[in-house]
Amino acid sequence: MGRRVLLIEDEPNIIEAISFILSKDGWTVHTHADGETAVDRVRDGAPDLVILDVMLPGRSGFDILRDLREGAEAAADLPILMLTARGQQRDRDMAEQLGATRFMTKPFSNSEVLETVRALAAP
Amino acid sequence: MISFNLLIAVSLGYVAFLFLVAFAAERRARRDRGQWLRNPLVYTLSLSIYCTAWTFYGAVGYAARSGFEYLTIYLGPTIVMIGWWWILRKLVRIGKTQRITSVADLISSRFGKSTALGVLVTLLAVAGTTPYIALQLQSVTQSLAVFAAQPGSGWDAGEFEGAAIWIAVGLALFTLIFGTRNLDVNERHHGVVMAIAVEAVVKLFALIAVGVFVVWGMAGGVSEMLARIDASAIADWQPVPHRWVGLIFLSGAALLTLPRMFQVMVVENADEKHLATASWAFPLYVLAMSLFVVPIAVTGLNLLPDAANPDLFVLTIPLATGNESLAILSFLGGFSSATSMVIVATIALATMVSNHIIAPIWLSSTQTGAALSGDVRGVIVMSRRISIAVILALGYLYFRLSGGGAALASIGLISFAGVVQVLPAMIAGIFWRGANRIGAGTGIVIGFAIWAWTLFLPSFGAGAVLSEAVMAEGPFGWGWLQPYGLFGITGLDPVVHTVFWSMFFNTGALVTLSVLTFPNPIERLQGAQFVNVFENSAGARTWAQSAARAEDLLIMAQRIIGHAEAQAMFRQEARAQGIDGYLPEVTPDLIGRLERMLAGSVGAATAHAMVGQLTGSAAVSVEDLIAVADETAQIVEYSNRLEAKSAEQERTARALREANEKLTAISIQKDAFLSQVSHELRTPMTSIRSFSEILREGEIDAEARARFAGIIHQESTRLTRLLDDLLDLSYLENGQVQLDLGRGSLADVLDRAVMAAGVPGDRLALRRDSASERVQIETDLERLTQVFINLITNAAKYCDADRPELVIRARAGAETCEVDFIDNGTPLDAEAQVLIFEKFSRLADEGKAGGAGLGLAICRQIMESLGGGISYLPGQGGPAFRVTLRHRARMAAQ
């Protein structure tokens, strides 16, 4: 059993792409498409890394990030990779301010994503 | 001989009879709303208070002194009644629609509810009417004196002189009881009107009885009487043209402006149709009153000694011939004339004094929201009662102080000339929208001053108020200000002189100042309502016009706050109500918000008035409101021009700031749009890039390869469609799209759309009604198909029912036809209904369907350019859209 990544994303094709890349590298990928229940899912699933989209149904990825960093039982050390189609500077700043471990924009290069995941989830 | 006691008994009995009549009338009025009391006959008879004791006794005296000139006093009203009834009708209509309670109320209300004008006219009316009330008291006292002077009457001289105060007290009592019995909204007094109608009959009967006695009893027939008239000095009398013209004008104008005439003619009027009867019946009454004047005068001149007062011939002739019962009847006639005038004049004046002087003072002196507490009514009744007592006391005082010297007729004319100063403001007020309060007020003040200087003050006699030197040479020796010869024009009769100059300057000031100054918006509105009273007082609007009303409100709002803002507001309101377009349902909330919005531009009061006029039972036309709005804008512009340079700079700076804010807002909108577009483009590109990288790496099986290639293809299609949609929407929004009009049937268009949508039956079952689709349309068929495809695929994508079903229903109207698309999924909530037509308005969990959220925005643009529309149809059990299209498309105005 490899290390576990939780992918919070709502676009089916992107889910499939990332799942494929990471699985091939030996990760166990769990996916979750709903913003509203995402925080609970992270708590319950205790993944080694979270890949988080911003434009999610129900709740914004930024809000989820804030909860994960500042809420009760905050997962302060959990590596979180923000992966979003919103690539403006202010989105980047926002993510940094809220405590994202890394910020990447879509479209992404597969190898970059893979390297980042490997780097962040290093034991 | 007639004893004092008998005379007093007869008078008391008569007064008791009047009380009974008034009581009975009031009781009837309460029981059956006084329908039978209010008939044209009673109305006409009540107008007869025009004929006071002055006419009853004084006309004979007038004829004895000046021949046929007394006729002018009757000719004026006759001409107005017959020839100018339309002025009266307008006054009556305005009185009713505006709930006018007096002349002062009419003028004040017309000129922007001006308190100052109300007070001014009230003071004028009191000043003009008090001498007249004194005159009535004097005539009753004089008539008593006639009886006392009879040899052997055995009266004490003091007895009848004290009588005046008892008469005044008695009249005050009657007026208090019947004049303030109920605070009717329209100030009607059934008892009083009935009593004065009865008095009208009594005085006419008395005068005719004396006349008949003189002609047939004494002269022995008509021909003999005519011969006696020919032989008398009256026959030699030559008319003075300027006096005739002046007096006819004066009496005609007085009919319109005398407070008591306004009271019976306008305020007490129950039905406009009564005026039609009165327009011929009242002149007839007046003719009957004047018929025997000359015979009585001639007989008196022949029969009685030269020293006899011609003003009392009506009494002295029966007495001199020993006809005592006729003398008593005649006394009652005079008594009737005097009392009815005093009663109505007092009621009219008391209404004015209490409404325009006492009530405003009381309201402003009590701060703690007195207008809300319950005792306002009590205060108004009390102030009305105090006013009545004060006015009668003033009349009595004037009577005591003036000593009763002047001839009856001259006091009457002086009084007329004073009250007539209201005429220019009244006539201009109801016929000329441009007349304003500055002009009206100044005109009245100037006219009033000229009247006081040239007629009222000199009437006390040279040396009494104005010294003889002033009378002869003018003040400070300025001859041009000589009271009887302004500007050096002498030789005119004093009354005509006053009427000419006062009317000249009064009207001149009114017209000049009205042209030179601006009316305020409330005056504008009131002016429109008064002048256009006949156009506007038609029946209330019906529900069917409610769409037009929303449109009226929009037109008005555009004029006041600008097109863009008004349209934005209305559109937003409509959208919040789930209505497409700019015309929301007119709800109380909408009206409230609109009012607040307008208040920012024109002030709360005006906004309230304007909106109220449009939404209430129409009183002012849209054109009037637009005129007000335009003029408000003009006034603002005018005053702005006069502002100092710094103010102008400040305004420029503010305009720049506003423009800047607007640009910033637009820029933010544009950024948001671009950011959304960017997001929408990046999402499919992400899949394409990622999968193409995977494919390039190799090392995957054939099945996965085929599947990934499929995804890449699917996403590039989505990308292309998104770009197409964006371009399409951009064209449509800019109005650059070329419509390709063609003819076809609705059924064909729907068939094509269903085919193109290619929705499998198990995904969405279609229910159509082919009969309803047999509608011929001329429009851009391709575009319409595009809209239908969109609606069908949307239903297929989003319908969440177990067995999805879409009902398509068409209904053709006269010019338009409606096509409804209703599926059985979960209906949209109110917020979503508003958002759904916005760009990128994909609702929460639509991501799976892969649309970019431009479809409905495009549909809406298409339908608008085809001259129709598309809207969400609430309350159908499931998501429902209604497409409205014209049978013949018309290019929407771009």
ipTM of the complex as predicted: 0.93
Q: What is the 3-state secondary structure (H, E, C) of chain A?
A: CCCEEEEECCCHHHHHHHHHHHHHCCCEEEEECCCCCHHHHHHHHCCCEEEECCCCCCCCHHHHHHHHHHCCCCCCCCCEEEEECCCCHHHHHHHHHHCCCEEEECCCCHHHHHHHHHHHCCC
Min Cα separation B682/chain A (Å) = 6
Asked, for residue A122, whether it belongs to a domain, the answer is no
Min Cα separation B576/chain A (Å) = 23
Check residue B888 and report its DSSP letter.
B
CB contact under 8 Å between B682 and A57, yes or no, is no
Tell me if B725 sits within 8 A of B854, measured CB to CB: yes
Compute the average pLDDT of residues B566-591: 78
Asked, for residue A61, whether it belongs to a domain, the answer is yes
Query: What percent of chain B has a predicted confidence (pLDDT) above 90?
Result: 6
- Find the range with the poorest average confidence among B228-242, B358-372, B837-851, B880-894: B837-851
Compute the average pLDDT of residues B425-442: 84
Check residue B586 and report its DSSP letter.
-
Min Cα separation B843/chain A (Å) = 9
* Mutate: best of B676, B680, B683, B842, partner A, most A CBs <10 A: B683
Which range has the top average pLDDT, B563-567, B603-607, B761-765?
B761-765
The answer, yes or no, to whether residue B846 has pLDDT greater than 60, is: no
Of B682, B685, B690, the CB nearest to A110: B690
CB contact under 8 Å between B690 and A10, yes or no, is no
Question: What would the pLDDT profile of B302-338 be if each residue is shown by its tens digit?
Answer: 777 777 777 788 888 887 787 778 888 888 888 888 8
CB burial of residue B837 (10 Å; 0-12, 13-18, 19+): buried
Extract the tokens encoding B40.
């044209």
Q: In 10 A of CB B204, how many CB atoms?
A: 21
Model confidence band, residue B849 (pLDDT cutoffs 50, 70, 90): very low
Q: Supply the pLDDT for residue B850.
A: 46
**Roughly how many angstroms between the first and final C-alpha of chain A, as a whole number?**
15
Compute the average pLDDT of residues B182-186: 50
Question: What would the pLDDT profile of B723-771 be if each residue is shown by its tens digit?
Answer: 888 888 888 888 777 788 888 899 999 999 998 888 887 888 889 988 8
Q: Supply the pLDDT for residue B893.
A: 37
CA-CA distance, A82 to A98, in Å (whole number)? 11
Extract the tokens encoding A36.
């509203």
Structural domain harbouring A91: 4-117
Question: What would the pLDDT profile of B197-212 be if each residue is shown by its tens digit?
Answer: 888 888 888 888 888 8
Q: Supply the pLDDT for residue B642.
A: 66
Q: In 10 A of CB B187, how many CB atoms?
A: 21
* Mutate: best of B677, B690, B708, partner A, most A CBs <10 A: B690
Q: Is B638 helix (H, G, I), strand (E, B) or coil?
A: helix
**Roughly how many angstroms between the first and final C-alpha of chain B, as a whole number?**
99
The answer, yes or no, to whether residue B617 has pLDDT greater than 50, is: no
Maximum C-alpha span of chain B? 151
Min Cα separation B706/chain A (Å) = 14
Tell me if A13 sits within 8 A of B717, measured CB to CB: no
CB contact under 8 Å between B686 and A106, yes or no, is yes
Asked, for residue A51, whether it belongs to a domain, the answer is yes
**Residue ranges of domains in chain B, CATH in brackets:** 4-361+373-409 (1.20.1730.10), 538-642 (no CATH), 655-730 (1.10.287.130), 739-886 (3.30.565.10)
Which range has the top average pLDDT, B239-253, B371-385, B405-419?
B239-253
Compute the average pLDDT of residues B841-847: 48
Q: Supply the pLDDT for residue B461.
A: 64
Of A58, A86, A107, the CB nearest to B686: A107
Which residues 29-58 of A have a C-beta within 8 angstroms of B? Answer: 55, 57-58
Model confidence band, residue B710 (pLDDT cutoffs 50, 70, 90): very high
Q: Supply the pLDDT for residue B739.
A: 80
Q: In 10 A of CB B668, how many CB atoms?
A: 10
Q: In 10 A of CB B214, how many CB atoms?
A: 25
The answer, yes or no, to whether residue B538 has pLDDT greater than 50, is: no
The answer, yes or no, to whether residue B187 has pLDDT greater than 60, is: no
CA-CA distance, B771 to B331, in Å (whole number)? 91
CA of A18: which chain B residue's CA is closest?
Answer: B690
Asked, for residue A93, whether it belongs to a domain, the answer is yes
Q: Which long-range contacts (CB under 8 A, 24 or more apart) does B82-89 make?
A: B82/B279, B82/B280, B82/B283, B84/B252, B85/B275, B85/B276, B85/B279, B87/B256, B87/B427, B87/B430, B88/B256, B88/B265, B88/B275, B88/B279, B89/B272, B89/B275
The answer, yes or no, to whether residue B409 has pLDDT greater than 70, is: no
The answer, yes or no, to whether residue A2 has pLDDT greater than 70, is: no
B151 CB contacts (<8 Å, ≥6 apart)?
none
CA-CA distance, A38 to A52, in Å (whole number)? 9
Extract the tokens encoding B140.
């009753």
Question: What would the pLDDT profile of B82-129 be if each residue is shown by its tens digit?
Answer: 877 778 888 888 887 777 778 888 888 888 777 788 888 888 888 888
* Mutate: best of A9, A13, A20, partner B, most B CBs <10 A: A13
Tell me if B180 sits within 8 A of B384, measured CB to CB: yes
Which residues 669-728 of B have a C-beta within 8 angstroms of A? Answer: 675, 678-679, 682-691, 693-694, 697, 711, 714-715
> From edge to edge, which strands make up the β-sheet containing A4-8?
A28-32, A4-8, A49-52, A80-84, A102-105
Asked, for residue A45, whether it belongs to a domain, the answer is yes
Min Cα separation B572/chain A (Å) = 26
Q: Are strands B741-745 and B776-780 parallel, antiparallel or unpaired?
A: antiparallel
Chain B residues with CB-CB distance to A13 below 8 A:
684, 687, 691, 711, 714-715
Compute the average pLDDT of residues B599-622: 54
The answer, yes or no, to whether residue B695 has pLDDT greater than 70, is: yes
The answer, yes or no, to whether residue B542 has pLDDT greater than 50, is: no
Mark residue B881 as left, alpha or beta (left: phi above 0; alpha: psi -120 to 50; beta: remaining). beta
- Number of domains chain A is built from: 1
Beta bridge partners of B822: B807, B880
CA-CA distance, B92 to B270, in Å (whole number)? 10
Q: CA angle B836-B839-B843, nearest 5°?
A: 45
Q: Quick check: A20 contacting B, CB < 8 Å?
A: yes
Q: In 10 A of CB A83, how many CB atoms?
A: 25
The answer, yes or no, to whether residue B141 has pLDDT greater than 60, is: yes
Q: Quick check: A109 contacting B, CB < 8 Å?
A: yes
The answer, yes or no, to whether residue B665 has pLDDT greater than 50, is: yes
Compute the average pLDDT of residues B550-579: 77
Q: Supply the pLDDT for residue B479.
A: 62
Of B675, B711, B844, the CB nearest to A13: B711
Q: How many residues does chain A have?
A: 123
Model confidence band, residue B518 (pLDDT cutoffs 50, 70, 90): confident
Chain B residues with CB-CB distance to A105 below 8 A:
682
What angle do the packed helices B40-47 and B190-212 form, to 10 degrees? 70
Q: Supply the pLDDT for residue B706.
A: 92
Q: In 10 A of CB B499, how many CB atoms?
A: 28
Report which secondary-structure segment, H or E, holds B741. Answer: strand B741-745
Backbone angles phi, psi at A50, to 5 degrees: -120, 135
pLDDT, mean over chain B:
77
CATH number, domain containing residue A40: 3.40.50.2300
- Find the range with the poorest average confidence among A31-35, B105-109, B669-673, B705-709: B669-673
Of A10, A14, A58, the CB nearest to B686: A14
Tell me if B873 sits within 8 A of B815, measured CB to CB: no
Min Cα separation B839/chain A (Å) = 16
Q: Supply the pLDDT for residue B544.
A: 32
Model confidence band, residue B75 (pLDDT cutoffs 50, 70, 90): confident
Beta bridge partners of B167: none
The answer, yes or no, to whether residue B595 has pLDDT greater than 50, is: yes
* Mutate: best of B687, B692, B700, partner A, most A CBs <10 A: B687
Q: In 10 A of CB B644, how many CB atoms?
A: 8
Q: Provide the residue type at B327 as one letter.
A: A
Rg of chain B over CA atoms, in angstroms? 41
Q: Supply the pLDDT for residue B353.
A: 84
The answer, yes or no, to whether residue B832 has pLDDT greater than 50, is: yes
Model confidence band, residue B546 (pLDDT cutoffs 50, 70, 90): very low
Q: Is B581 helix (H, G, I), strand (E, B) or coil?
A: coil
Asked, for residue A123, whether it belongs to a domain, the answer is no
* Mutate: best of B693, B716, B842, partner A, most A CBs <10 A: B693
Q: CA angle B405-B407-B410, nearest 5°?
A: 120
Q: Supply the pLDDT for residue A81.
A: 93
The answer, yes or no, to whether residue B631 has pLDDT greater than 70, is: no
Q: Taking Cα atoms as reference points, which of B540, B519, B541, B546 lies closest to residue B531?
A: B519
Of B675, B694, B844, the CB nearest to A17: B694
